[in-house]
Copies of this chain bind each other. A is one copy, B any other.
Amino acid sequence: MNDMYYEDFHVGQRFASRSQVMTRERILAFGEEFDPQPQHTSEAAAAASNFGELIASGWHTAALTMRLQYEVAFCRIVNGGMGAQVDKLAWLRPVRPGEAVQAVVEVVQMRPSESRPGYGVVSMLTTTVNQDGHSVQTMTGTLLIPRRPA
């Protein structure tokens, strides 16, 4: 269902994804491959770190957030959108093994593209929330989305 053009979005529109558990196994595997800080690679190392316990890499949360926001919103954009960039990405709380996260995407700004006439520029704020409703990550991003042909 790649059916959404720029004109199908509006400021204030929200998309809430399913939630997904971050398992100990995946947290350790991601940490080992991409972010081998002590708090991400073993319980023993994590216990001796600033964080005192095993937590997911922020980049793991960001990657999973990408998947969740893709499933609930980005996958519906005609041609998938283009020219994505992140304007801000902040980690607010740790995510521990067994915790579940959900992505809530909100359209915060829209304007026609000046450099690419067939596209609109859409800014979205994606808040990743845990099972208790606390925000664990916020990300503001920009996407080029095709305009509906006249």
Copies of this chain, complex-wide, total: 2
Dominant secondary structure at the A interface? helix
What's the least CB distance linking A145 to chain B, in Å?
A: 12
Instruction: Give every chain B residue within 8 A of A50 (Cβ-Cβ).
Output: 79-80, 82
Q: Does A34 touch B at the CB level, under 8 Å?
A: yes
Residue-wise interface mask of A (64-101) relative to B, using a CB-CB cutoff of 8 A (1 in contact, 0 not): 10110010001100011010111111110000000000
Q: Are A86 and B89 in contact (CB under 8 A)?
A: yes
With A85-B89, A85-B90, A89-B86 as contacts: A33 and B67 at CB distance below 8 Å: yes
Q: Are A80 and B35 in contact (CB under 8 A)?
A: no
With A70-B37, A84-B91 as contacts: A59 and B63 at CB distance below 8 Å: yes
Q: How far is the CA of A63 from the CA of B32 in the complex (A)?
A: 11
Instruction: Give every chain B residue within 8 A of A82 (Cβ-Cβ).
Output: 50
Per a CB cutoff under 8 Å, which of B57, B60, B66, B87 touches A57? Answer: B66
Q: Give residues in A with beta carbon < 8 Å to B.
A: 30, 33-39, 49-50, 57-60, 62-64, 66-67, 70, 74-75, 79-80, 82, 84-91
